[in-house]
Every structure is written in C-alpha cells, then in structure tokens.
C-alpha cells in the first residue's frame, strides 16, 4: 500500500519565530531607612531572598541592638547618618520612618542624588505626593508608594495600571482596619464604642492614642492618595471633611438592622465633570445596605471599590495593615523597579487636574438618631424645622423599652443635600427636648 504523504511535506518549511528576549531585570542595591514593625518585615523578606535581584546592603536605624539580629547578614552596612546613605552606591532608598520630617527631606535628597525611592508613608504622600512624583520625573527616577494605602492589597498598582484604560469617577472604601474592627465588634456583641476600642488596643489593632484612626484622619490621607492616583484629581487633606466613629452607639446597629443596613466608616470620593470639574469627598461613618460587599468586611480588613465608565466596579479586598502585609507591598514596589531596569515610567502626576470645587456635600438619604426627654409635639417640632429647609421625612422608628427621660428614636430622610441638612441640624440642636446632640449618618447605596 502506498504511503500517504501529507501535503505539508511539499511546502517549504518556515523558520521558527524568534522568541522575544526576556525583559532585563536589574539587580538593585537597597538602603532601608527605619527598622520598626514594617521595616523589620521588609528586611526579613529581602535577607531571605538575597540571591535574587533585590540586595539589601544598608540599614539606617538608631537602635544598635538591631545589628545583633541573627538573620541579618554580617556584611550588612549600618550607616550612622543619612548622608552616608546618599554617599553609598545604593540604587533604591526604602523610607519607613514615617512622618513629614525628616522623611520628606530625605526622599527629596535621595531623588536628587540619583536614587529611586519606595515609601509606605501615607501622610507624606497625601501631603506632597504630586510634588515628589514630579521631582522623580524630572530626575529620571522612580518613587513608588503602593504600601501607603491598604497595606498588602495591590490597589495603587491595580488602579494605575490595571484600570489605566478606563475613566474612573468614584473611589469608595473601608480604608482603616482599626475603625472596622471597632464597628464590627460593636455590631456583633452590642458593646459600647469604648469597650470595643479597648479590645482593639489589647489585640494591637489600635494605637494607645487612636485619634488618627477614630477621627478619620488616617483614612482621609489614604483617600487623598487614591483620589490623585485613580481619579487623577488633586485634592488636599484639609479639603476633605472627617466625622468620627466615636458618636456611634450600640442602639444605632439595632436601628440599622431594622433598615436592612449596617454601619461602616466609609471613605468616598466622586468626580463630576458635567459642569466643570467638581469633587465630592468625605470620610465618615455611614449606613450601607446589607446587600453591599462592604457590609461584609469584617474585623481589621480593608476594601476599595473603583468605579469607571467602562469597567464599572472593580473590588480590591484583604488585610490592609500589619507588618507583613505592608512589607509585601514594599517589596512588590522594589520588584517593579527591578523589572523596569530602574527606568522611569509614565506617571499620572502631570495629568492630575485641580478641581473647580471640592466639598463634602452628597445628596443622599440620611439617618437621624435623636435621644430626647419625651413629651408631646417632638415629631411636629422636628418636622417644622426640616420642612423649612425643604427636607422630607421618609420614616420614623422607635423601639419600646427605653426610659422616657433618655428615649432614642430614628428618622430616615428622603435624599437631601448634606450641607443643607447640616444647617437644619444646627437649628434642631437648640431644641430643649434633646438630651444629646442628634447623630446624622448618610445612607449610601454602594
């Protein structure tokens, strides 16, 4: 039987396509500034992978006992000053000392000395991020700050690169693990704010001075960074209003559940280009529906939701704090610099626009909780003030079993301007039946 010959055998064979050359990975010598909780985790990761492209060669820390850590190589350089770091041959400076000074000055000097920078300093990036990015662009170096928001969650790189093809118009999130732990503990156990805070401090989730967390300052700094990175809109921290979570009481979760909602600290920035460029942004406790993903973020986890014109909602979630998760983000930024062989990337610093107006005003439904000395005519008096500002009541809720001398009850309002409602509440606060100031929370459809 004749052997069948494939027609392919008669064709002239084509040369195999050439494989693309692998991207060069630059070996980087790294100086670490600060060996606290995050710095120690970064040093441990780098020392355990010393045969890779990231070589930790210098550590600047005032604590001399750190030099005796057994897993730190004996040949490690321990400079006595930052000037010694600048004079060395390191390629990248990792700043983990925190604060605005001297961290900001050191980063500027490092960039001007021809060294790229990686930082987890959220306060500095919120205040000076655009300026530092422009400086890095001018000198042809990199500044990376992925660890400054949401710790180990790759939200900055995900927004800047993964969603670069979209036009984002809203960033929302649970950005502070301490607040989320406190609120979920209050919800689960019916405890007071103070009791939940003490437990958070005992477990190491809250600082001895929790002001930056519970007042919203920490989350606000992160929201500024996300607004500039994702919405490409410049905003200053002082332009974004904060409201504390310390005003929340266990009874608010009881009423929130009746409304099929829960309470979380929400950071929200929304860009509107229908009439110029306007930005609405705030950090505050808010009611969110139980059907919302953020309603199920437990303990000290974080979540960021970026909303765009084309991709709609993209969600980033995970543990947003702690030494190890934050260290992973720092090391990931170092690998990004190594993969680009140290070359600068196109940045969004020059693309960020200054809005025509920034406010904390959102037109949404609201939750009002009053604690009053009960008497006839209270609802009528509140309705009179609200109607004066053209604000409509949606519902009134009152649980039985509370003393009439300190009676809590709730009103929900039809969508209205936050700014207008604040004016009405200023007048309501002067009514003599109030035992304490009314609590006002937006109801956000996330």
> Annotated catalytic sites, by residue?
222
What's 158's DSSP letter? I
Omega of the bond prior to 404 within 30 degrees of 0, cis?
no
User: With 0-12 CB in 10 A as exposed, 13-18 as middle and 19+ as buried, what is 201?
Assistant: middle
> Residue 261 and residue 251: Cα distance in Å, rounded?
13
- Please, are residues 442 and 364 in contact by the beta-carbon 8 Å criterion? yes
> Residue 240 and residue 137: Cα distance in Å, rounded?
28
Query: How many residues are present in the chain?
Result: 446
> Residue 312 and residue 335: Cα distance in Å, rounded?
30
Q: Which two tokens stand for residue 112?
A: 């001007």
Residue 93's DSSP bridge partners are 31, 117
- E strand residue ranges, 246-356: 261-272, 278-289, 301-308, 312-319
CA angle 115, 163, 150 (to 5 degrees): 65
| Beta-strand pair 28-33/434-442 | unpaired
φ/ψ of 409, rounded to 5, equals -150, 165
CA atoms within 13 A on the CB side of 407: 17
144: enclosing H helix or E strand: strand 143-144
Q: Which two tokens stand for residue 29?
A: 């010598």
**Residue found by looking up tokens 């920490």 in the block:** 218
Own/partner contacts of 108-111, CB < 8 Å, gap of 24 or more, are 108/132, 108/135, 109/82, 110/85, 110/86, 111/135, 111/136, 111/139, 111/141, 111/143
- Please, are residues 118 and 111 in contact by the beta-carbon 8 Å criterion? no
What's 67's DSSP letter? G
- Please, are residues 94 and 334 in contact by the beta-carbon 8 Å criterion? yes
């Amino acid at each position: 039987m004749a052997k069948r010959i494939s027609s392919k055998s008669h064709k002239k064979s084509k040369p195999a396509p050439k494989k693309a050359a692998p991207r060069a990975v630059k070996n980087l010598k790294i100086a670490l500034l600060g060996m606290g909780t995050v710095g120690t985790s970064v040093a441990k990761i780098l020392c355990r992978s010393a045969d890779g492209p990231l070589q930790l060669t210098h550590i600047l820390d005032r604590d001399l006992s750190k030099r005796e850590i057994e897993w730190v190589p004996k040949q490690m350089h321990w400079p006595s000053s930052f000037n010694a770091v600048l004079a060395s041959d390191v390629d990248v400076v990792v700043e983990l000392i925190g604060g605005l000074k001297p961290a900001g000055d050191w980063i500027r000097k490092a960039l001007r000395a021809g060294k790229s920078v990686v930082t987890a300093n959220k306060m500095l990036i919120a205040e000076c991020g655009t300026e530092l990015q422009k400086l890095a662009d001018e000198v042809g170096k990199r500044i990376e700050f992925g660890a400054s928001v949401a710790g180990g969650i790759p939200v900055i790189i995900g927004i800047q690169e993964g969603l670069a093809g979209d036009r984002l118009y809203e960033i929302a999130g649970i950005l502070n693990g301490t607040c989320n732990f406190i609120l979920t503990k209050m919800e689960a156990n019916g405890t007071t704010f103070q009791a939940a805070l003490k437990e958070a401090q005992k477990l190491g989730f809250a600082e001895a001075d929790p002001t930056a967390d519970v007042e919203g300052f920490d989350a606000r700094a992160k929201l500024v960074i996300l607004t500039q990175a994702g919405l490409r809109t410049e905003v200053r921290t002082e332009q974004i209003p904060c409201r504390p979570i310390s005003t929340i009481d266990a009874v608010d979760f009881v009423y929130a559940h009746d409304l099929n909602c829960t309470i979380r600290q929400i950071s929200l920035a929304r860009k509107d280009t229908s009439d110029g460029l306007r930005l609405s942004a705030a950090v505050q406790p808010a009611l969110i529906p139980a059907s919302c993903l953020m309603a199920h973020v437990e303990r000290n986890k974080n979540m960021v939701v970026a909303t765009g014109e084309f991709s709609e909602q993209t969600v980033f979630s995970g543990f947003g704090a702690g030494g190890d998760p934050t260290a992973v983000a720092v090391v990931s930024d170092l690998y990004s610099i190594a993969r680009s062989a140290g070359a600068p990337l196109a940045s969004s610093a020059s693309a960020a626009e200054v809005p025509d107006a920034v406010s904390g005003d959102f037109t949404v439904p609201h939750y009002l909780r009053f604690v009053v000395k009960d008497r006839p005519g209270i609802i009528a008096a509140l309705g009179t003030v609200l109607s004066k500002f053209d604000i409509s009541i949606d519902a009134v809720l009152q649980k039985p079993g509370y003393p009439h001398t300190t009676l809590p009850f709730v009103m929900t309002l039809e969508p209205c301007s936050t700014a207008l409602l604040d004016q009405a509440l200023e007048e309501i606060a002067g009514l003599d039946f109030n035992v304490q100031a009314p609590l006002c929370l937006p109801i956000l459809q996330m």
